[in-house]
């Protein structure tokens, strides 16, 4: 909803439907045109690895399932300069200001600045990013950030218009999840394969839905991305896929919810 302290939310006024449950349609994929994006764009993704291949196999099965549910799928070309734009757009130029406000709330600052935090050896133990060191700072760099965001958004919108598609489907994460046993030493937090071409980057709605499991038994998801304010349409497509496939499976340790067998 609208927040007077966040002017960006004003763009959404009058765009939300009365209820999103109206979009829950089991036949929502029938007649839809879905663009398939296979271009790698995840953090620190390694397309030549077995791990990446296992996720790709599940993704290709999901594309077949979209067709079986009534959608027309179109293989999309690569977005020009995608990796470069993602790197430039990886950090909002206003981050320093936001961190200054955050640190200013306490007299006992753990770090003097955001840069000091990110350059700390402790930070490197916890988090590794494909775009480390590419964060834009300062007023001049903020212009580069805005230009990269606009170019990326126009590239996505033009592709959707040129191919007359209702949504783009891509892998939610391009690698299998990190096992708990692999996270006992630095880096404890690994975003490898995570994709970020969605609301955060180009101001469009996206929704992730379970797509099955790899041969290793690890979950894979697909993400449907639409035009600005097409939230309801994305819910319709995702719901139809979910109902047609039934891929969602709770862990064996998860207790049943009330009403479930």
Q: What is the pTM of this model?
A: 0.77
Q: Which pLDDT band holds residue 190 (cuts at 50, 70, 90)? A: low
Please spell the DSSP secondary structure of the chain, one letter per residue: --BTTBGGGGGGTTTS-S-GGGG--TTTTTT-EEEE-----STT--TTSHHHHHHHHHHHHHHHHHHHTT-EEEEPPPPTTHHHHHHHTTS-TTHHHHHHHHHTT-SS-SSSSHHHHHTSHHHHHHEE-TTTT----HHHHHHHHHHHHHHHHHHHHHHHHHTT-SEEEEESBSSPPPPGGG-SSS-SEE-TTB---SHHHHS--EEEEEEEE-TTS-EEEEEEE-STT-HHHHHHHHHHHHHHH------TTSPPPTT--
Summarised one tens digit per residue, pLDDT across range 204-220 is: 899 999 999 998 888 99
Take residue 210 and report the two structure tokens written for it: 């379970």
Summarised one tens digit per residue, pLDDT across range 39-88 is: 877 666 677 888 888 999 999 999 999 999 999 999 999 888 887 777 66
Tell me, what's the pLDDT at 68? 98
Q: Which pLDDT band holds residue 130 (cuts at 50, 70, 90)? A: very low
Report the range out of 121-130, 204-213, 246-255 with the highest average pLDDT.
204-213
Share of the chain above pLDDT 90, in %: 36
Domain boundaries, the chain: 7-85+159-245
pLDDT at residue 250 is higher than 50: yes
Tell me, what's the pLDDT at 133? 46
Classified by CATH at the fold level, domain 7-85+159-245 comes out as Amidase signature (AS) enzymes (3.90.1300)
Tell me, what's the pLDDT at 36? 97
């Amino acid at each position: 909803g609208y927040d007077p302290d966040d002017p960006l939310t004003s763009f959404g006024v009058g765009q939300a439907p009365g209820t999103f449950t109206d979009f829950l349609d089991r036949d929502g994929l029938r007649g839809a045109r879905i663009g398939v994006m296979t271009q790698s764009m995840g953090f620190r993704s390694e397309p030549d690895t077995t791990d990446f291949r296992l996720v790709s196999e599940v993704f290709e099965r999901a594309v077949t399932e979209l067709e079986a549910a009534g959608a027309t799928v179109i293989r999309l070309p690569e977005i020009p300069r995608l990796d470069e734009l993602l790197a430039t757009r990886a950090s909002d130029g206003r981050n320093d200001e936001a961190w200054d406000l955050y640190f200013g709330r306490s007299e006992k600052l753990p770090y003097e600045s955001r840069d000091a935090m990110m350059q700390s050896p402790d930070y490197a133990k916890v988090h590794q990013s494909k775009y480390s060191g590419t964060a834009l700072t300062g007023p001049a760099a903020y212009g580069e950030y805005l230009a990269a965001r606009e170019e990326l958004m126009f590239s996505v919108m033009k592709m959707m218009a040129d191919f007359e598609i209702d949504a783009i489907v891509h892998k939610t994460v391009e690698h299998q999840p990190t096992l708990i046993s692999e996270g006992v030493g630095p880096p404890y937090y690994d975003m490898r394969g995570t994709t970020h071409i969605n609301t955060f980057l180009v101001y469009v709605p996206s929704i992730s839905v379970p797509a099955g499991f790899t041969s290793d038994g690890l979950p894979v998801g697909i993400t449907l991305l639409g035009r600005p304010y097409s939230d309801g349409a994305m819910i319709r497509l995702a719901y139809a896929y979910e109902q047609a496939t039934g891929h969602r499976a709770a862990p064996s340790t998860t207790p049943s919810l009330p009403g479930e067998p």
